[in-house]
Amino acid sequence: MANQSGDMTHVAIDNANLLIAPAPRPAMVMIFVPALGVRADYYAAFARALNRHGITVVLNDLRGHGRSTVKPSRCNDFGYSALINEDLRKAVGHVQTAFGDLPLVLAGHSLGGQLVTLYAARYQPPAAGIIQIACSSPFYRGFPPARGRAIYWGSFFIQAAAALTGYFPGRTFGFGGREARRLMNDWSRIARTNVFNFKDDPYDYEGTLAAVGSPVLSFCFPADTYAPLPAVHYFTDKLPQNLLKLRILDIPEFQRTDHFSWIGQGEILAPLLAAWLSRATV
């Protein structure tokens, strides 16, 4: 099912809800996955900035957010595995069918960066590149001691709150939105262990992250307290280092940029991303 919304097209494939921002003369196509609790259209201006560099952008709403009709509840539960193996897999399938002549780029912000990288670890798609923006492991040891302790003990609280209500009421606690219980259980276990494997999925993602076959660009912002550099390393160190470019954006324009405010600087970030992709696809 497809319908037009302004200059974007909405395509729904089961639980995969895609907002497609076409470039006038596309040289590649990017699937972009949001951060926890963030609607896909939050990135609309960034998508249009990328369009001006020849990149068609497919924004993939996370299940339970944006144009998704799913409402997380005790009876409607899902975790990382469903987002990777159902929703993202269908998104990639649609893009490969609709834009099969264009190089594919997988990209994501925060949780979205984790998801596209884990997808690449499992399926090894022919991706021209993987882009991670403000993406780290939530592992508590990647944060300053006081914040690390808060994350460690807070992970148990998150699981308890989700068990009590049947979902995690993130808006109440200022972390995410209305989130599925299993998703937050997965996140909480990663926060304590830094192991990206999931109870409802027998696949060994942790063991195959080192075999990701596409070049990876990871953007890190110095003022980002949600994804500080040590926490970014706890995720990127799992990847093939010869294919990884970790770029710390310590240039003046990004000195005060945090986990979410970078979206207001999309016009600056887009050409940096596009320039790396042009080199990666040569």
pLDDT in tens, 165-204: 999 999 998 899 999 999 999 999 999 999 999 999 999 9
Please give the helix or strand (H or E) that residue 104 lies within, else none: strand 104-109
How confident is the model at residue 158, as a pLDDT? 96
- Our measurement of the distance from residue 162's CA atom to the centroid of its chain's CA atoms, rounded to an integer in Å, reads 22
Q: Is 211 exposed, middle or buried (0-12, 13-18, 19+ CB in 10 A)?
A: exposed
How confident is the model at residue 281, as a pLDDT? 65
171: closest CA among 9, 1, 36?
36
Q: What is the SS3 assignment for 217?
A: strand
Residues of the chain with pLDDT under 70: 1-6, 281-282
Q: What is the SS3 assignment for 190?
A: helix
Amino acid making up residue 179? E
Cβ neighbour number for residue 65 with a 10 Å cutoff: 21
Phi first, then psi: what are they for 251, rounded to 5°?
-75, 160
Domains of the chain: 2-138+204-280 (3.40.50.1820)
How confident is the model at residue 280, as a pLDDT? 76
Q: Residue 66: how many CA atoms within 13 Å on its side-chain side?
A: 26
Tokens 């699981």 — which residue? 159
